[in-house]
Amino acid sequence: MTERIPRTDPRGTHQRRTLVVVGHGMVGHRFVQAAVERGLTETHDVVVVGEECRPAYDRVALTSYFAASSADELSLLPSGRYDDPRVDLRLGTRVTGVDAEDRTVALDDGTQVRYDALVLATGAAPFVPPVPGRDLPGCFVYRTIEDLDAIRDAAATATSGVVIGGGLLGLEAANALVQLGLETHVVEMAPRLMPVQLDEAGGRTLVRHVEGLGVTVHTGAATEAVLGEEAVTGLALAGGGRVEAQLVVFSAGIRPRDQLARDAGLAVAERGGVLVDEQCRSSDPHVFAIGECAAPGGVMYGLVAPGYSMAEVVVDALLEGAGTFTGADMSTKLKLLGVDVASFGDAFATTPGALELVFADAVAGVYKKLVVGRAEDGGHRLLGGVLVGDASAYGVLRPMVSSGITLPDNPEELILPARSGAGAQLGLPDEAVVCSCNNVTKGEIGSAVALDEDGAHACQDLSCVKSCTRAGSTCGSCVPVVKNIIEEHFAAQGRVVDKGLCEHFSLTRQELFDLVAVHGYRRFDDLVEAHGRGRGCEVCKPVVASILASQFNGHVLGAETKALQDTNDAYLANIQRNGTYSVVPRIPGGEITPEKLIVIGEVARDFNLYTKITGGQRIDLFGARMEELPQIWRRLVDAGFESGHAYGKSLRTVKSCVGSTWCRYGVQDSVGLAIALELRYRGLRSPHKLKGGVSGCARECAEARGKDFGVIATEKGWNLYVGGNGGANPAHAQLLAGDLDTETLVRYLDRFLMYYVRTADRLQRTSAWVEQLDGGLDRVRAVVVDDELGLGAELEAAMVRHIGSYRDEWQATLEDPDKLARFVSFVNAPGTPDPSIAFTTERGQIQPVVPDDGSGAGGGRTPEPVLVAATIGVREQA
C-alpha cells in the first residue's frame, strides 16, 4: 500500500505515509500540533484540508471577535502555516467525498489525495429547527467568524434581535447582540436557561443576572414561526406570545457533520456522529474521527476538551500506542454576559445517595451547589456541582471530582465567599489535573515554578507558567487555581488579619449568616462544632441567636436558643443597675388610648414600679423583679399590649409627630404611617437596634432624620431617609428616595431593612453599615431603589415571611411552662425574693438602693445584703 502514496515528502522517503485531516477547527489544529510534537511527522506527511478560508481559530472565544481588532486575535495559527514542512495546510478547500475502498479523498478543487490514515475533524453544524420562516433574510446561526460578520452587518439596521436557544451558545450569541447594541431577547423552550448544565435555582440566578443586563428572557417558550414577508419582523411563540425583532439567531444546538462518513458507508451513531471505538477508529480501520463529528460509543461531545483528548488518542493510535478515549468530563465553565457559570460532574445529583449543599447569596447574585457522595473511606467526596455568579471555586472543585479525593470536614468552605485567612487551602494531590483542557497536573505546575537542578529556569509568574506548561492557556477557567498554586509556592508567611467575631469563630457575622442559610442550622452546637471551636461566649452566642431569629424567627426562649440570648433578650426585659428589670410595652407610633394609659398606670401602681416616658414615645416601667415579669406581662397582654422589644437588637419604635390629623402644618398622616411601620417591622431581629421616625411635614418634629429610617412627608408623598442615629456618634439620615407613595415607600423599606439584616456586621448601626458598603448610599440606592441586583422581590419576600411569623414574645412565653421556668428568684426557693434588692423612695416613686460597700468593685467582697432569709454572713478574709 505504501507504494501507492504520492511522493509529497520533500525528502522523498519511500517509507513515508500520508495522513489526511479533514477539518481545521480547534480539534483538527490540536491534532496536527500533537502529531508534530509527538513525532508523527517523522513517518507521515500530513495533509490538512480546511473549509474556512482562515486557519483554526478559537471558537470558544467567538464572542470576543467583536471586541477584537481583527480575526487574527482569535487565530490559533496566525502565520497560516505550520513550522513543520511536512504539514500541508490547504485552506478554503472542501472535501467532497471519501472513497474508503481506494483510500482517497476528493477535494472541491478537483484533486484527489490518497491516505494511509484519514482523520475526520469536520466538527458540527448549528441545528436550525424546522419552523416556518427560518430562511428569511435576517435569520442567522452562530458558529463562524463569517456568521458573526453577517450578524454585525444586519445589526446595523436592526433595533432588536432574538436568540432562539437559551443554552450555552445561545447566551453567547445573546451577548453578541447586546454588544451590537440591540434590544435582545432569548427564547428557550426549557423552563430555565442552560437546562443541560444548570438546575432550577442556578437557572433562576442566571436569569436574574442576564435580565439585569437588559436581556429579556422567555423560558418555557417554543418558537412557532419566524414572522416576516421579505425579511424578519419578529417571532411568534406558542401560546400567542410575540417578540419583535429584525434579527433572529438560531442557537438551538448542534449536529455532527458526518455526511462524508455516511456517504462513504461508515457506521454512524443513532443520534448522529461517526461511530468510533475507544481509539476513535471508525468502522473502517483507516478512518478516525475526532471532536464534534465523532461519536465515541455513540455519544457526541460538544465541548473542546473532549475533542482535544480524542486528538491525542488518535495520534497515540497512529504511533501504535494504547491510549483510549472512554468518555469525558463534560464540565463547563464560562463567562456568559459577564456572569460566571460553571457546571461539573454530577450536577443534577443523579448518583444514588448524593447530597446537595447549597449556598445562595441573592444579594450578590451567587448560587453555588455542591453534590457530595460517600467516599470509600467513609468520608465525603465531591461528585459535581453548579456555580452561577461566582465560579472562582471551579478550578479547585472540578479536579476534586476527577481525583476523587476525600473532602475536608467542612466542604461548604469550598463554596462560601472567600474570606481572609481561609483561602480554601486547596489540598489537591500533586497528580490532580488542574488544567483539564491541556491535562496539566498540580505537580507539573509546582515543578515549573521550582528551580531546575542546574538553576537554569524556573517560572516566576503566571504567564511564564502558562506558556511553559500550557496550563490555563485554553479556556482559562483554571487560571485562578494555577495562580493560587504559584502563590502558595512563593507564599510569604504573612499573618492574615483576623476579622473573626471572637476566639470561637474566625468568621464575620455575615459569613455566619450565610452558613446558617446554607445549612439551615438551628442549633449553636452544630454551628460551633462545624465551623468554630470551644463552647462560645458572650460575643458569638447572641450573634448566632440573632441570626437564627432573623432567618427563622423562632421564639427567643425556644429550646435551642434560650441559652444564647444576651442579658436582656434572655429575660425579655431590660436589666437595670440593681438587677431588676424595666418593662416597655409597645405603643405603636406613640399613640395610646386613655384606657391603655390607665392599665399601664395600674400595673405600675400594683407592682410598685417607677414610670418614665421614654425618648421613643412610650412608657418604661422600672424596678420589676425577674420573677415578677410574667405576672406583669400577663396584666399587660390581657389589656391588649405586647412586648415593645425594648430589650432586643431589633425594631424599637417608630416615633411620630401628630401629623395632618391635628397639626395645622401637617401634610400627611404621620401617626398612621408610623403605626403601620412599627407593626410591620416589630420583632425583626437585626445586627443592632433599629429605630424609625415619621414626620408629617418638613418641620420634622418626629426627629426622623435621627433614626435608622426616617420618613418625612412632602406635598406629593414621602421622602425616605436612611442611616441616622442618635447616641454617642450621632448621624443624620440621608435621603434615599423622594416623593414616594406609601406602597413604594414600604417596598423600599422592606428591601432596605432586609438588606441590612443580611449583610451588616455585629452591632453595626445602619449609618456605619451604609458607610462601609462599597459605594455607600449609592450602593444602597442601587439595590433598594433601582433593584440593580434583581433582589427586590426576594428581600420583600423575606420581610413578608418575617411578618407572617411574628408572634408576641411575652404572650408566647406566658403560654409555655418551659419558657417560664427560668423566671424564679431562686431555683430552690422560688417564693423568696432576692434579698439583695432594696428600694427607697424619691419624688414619690421607688429608686434602687445600691449597696455601698466602700471598697469599690475590687476584692470580691460579698455585699451586706438586706436578708429576708436566715442570715449567715460570709465575709472574706483579705
Partner 1 sequence: MTPPVGQEWEPVCRLEDLEVERGAAALVHGQAVALFRTHDDRVYALANHDPFSRASVLARGIVGTRGEVDFVASPMHKHAFDLRTGRCLDDDHVSVASYEVRIESGVVQVGSRQERRASA
* Interaction site with partner 1 (CB under 8 A): 503-504, 525, 534-538, 540-542, 562-567, 570-571, 575, 577-579, 626, 822, 825-829, 832, 834-837, 850-851, 853, 857-863, 865, 867, 869-876
711 C-beta neighbours (distance < 10 Å), count: 31
* 797 vs 869 by CB, closer to partner 1: 869
Closest contact distance (angstroms) between CB of 553 and partner 1 is 22
Q: Which grid cell sits at 401?
A: 471530582
Pairing state of beta strands 339-345 and 332-336? Answer: antiparallel
Q: Measured between alpha carbons, how far is residue 291 from residues 119, 122, 256, 694 in Å?
A: 10, 8, 9, 67
Beta-bridge mates of residue 17? 44
Closest contact distance (angstroms) between CB of 515 and partner 1 is 19
Closest contact distance (angstroms) between CB of 760 and partner 1 is 21
Rounded (to 5) percent helix, strand, coil in the chain: 30, 20, 50
Calpha distance 223→13 (Å, rounded): 59
DSSP, res 761: P
* 322 vs 872 by CB, closer to partner 1: 872
* 267 vs 838 by CB, closer to partner 1: 838
φ, ψ for residue 337 (rounded to 5)?
50, 40
Q: Measured between alpha carbons, how far is residue 521 from residues 356, 505, 704, 794 in Å?
A: 15, 15, 37, 21
Closest contact distance (angstroms) between CB of 873 and partner 1 is 7
Q: Which of 749, 619, 633, 626 is nearest to 684 (CA)?
A: 749
Calpha distance 531→522 (Å, rounded): 14
* 629 vs 733 by CB, closer to partner 1: 629
Calpha distance 535→837 (Å, rounded): 32
Q: Which of 687, 34, 655, 587 is nearest to 317 (CA)?
A: 34
Beta-bridge mates of residue 244? 234
Q: Which grid cell sits at 61?
A: 472565544
Cβ-proximal residues to 551 (8 Å cutoff; 6+ apart), any chain: 513, 516, 517
Letter for the amino acid at 136?
A: L
Closest contact distance (angstroms) between CB of 572 and partner 1 is 12
* 72 vs 529 by CB, closer to partner 1: 529
Calpha distance 566→560 (Å, rounded): 14
Q: Which grid cell sits at 47?
A: 495533509
* 156 vs 878 by CB, closer to partner 1: 878
* 450 vs 867 by CB, closer to partner 1: 867
Closest contact distance (angstroms) between CB of 592 and partner 1 is 31
Beta-bridge mates of residue 90? 49
Closest contact distance (angstroms) between CB of 647 and partner 1 is 12
Q: Which of 584, 582, 577 is nearest to 624 (CA)?
A: 582
Three-state DSSP at 138 gives coil
Closest contact distance (angstroms) between CB of 558 and partner 1 is 12
* 208 vs 504 by CB, closer to partner 1: 504
* 800 vs 850 by CB, closer to partner 1: 850
Closest contact distance (angstroms) between CB of 576 and partner 1 is 9
Closest contact distance (angstroms) between CB of 541 and partner 1 is 5
Angle, alpha carbons 510-512-514 (nearest 5°):
70
648, 638 contact by CB (below 8 A)? no
DSSP, res 472: T
Closest contact distance (angstroms) between CB of 651 and partner 1 is 23
Closest contact distance (angstroms) between CB of 615 and partner 1 is 22
* 423 vs 851 by CB, closer to partner 1: 851
Calpha distance 643→113 (Å, rounded): 91
Closest contact distance (angstroms) between CB of 609 and partner 1 is 18
Pairing state of beta strands 139-141 and 247-250? Answer: parallel
H or E element that contains 531: helix 524-531
* 281 vs 762 by CB, closer to partner 1: 762
* 804 vs 873 by CB, closer to partner 1: 873
247, 261 contact by CB (below 8 A)? no
* 503 vs 703 by CB, closer to partner 1: 503
Q: Which grid cell sits at 671?
A: 401617626
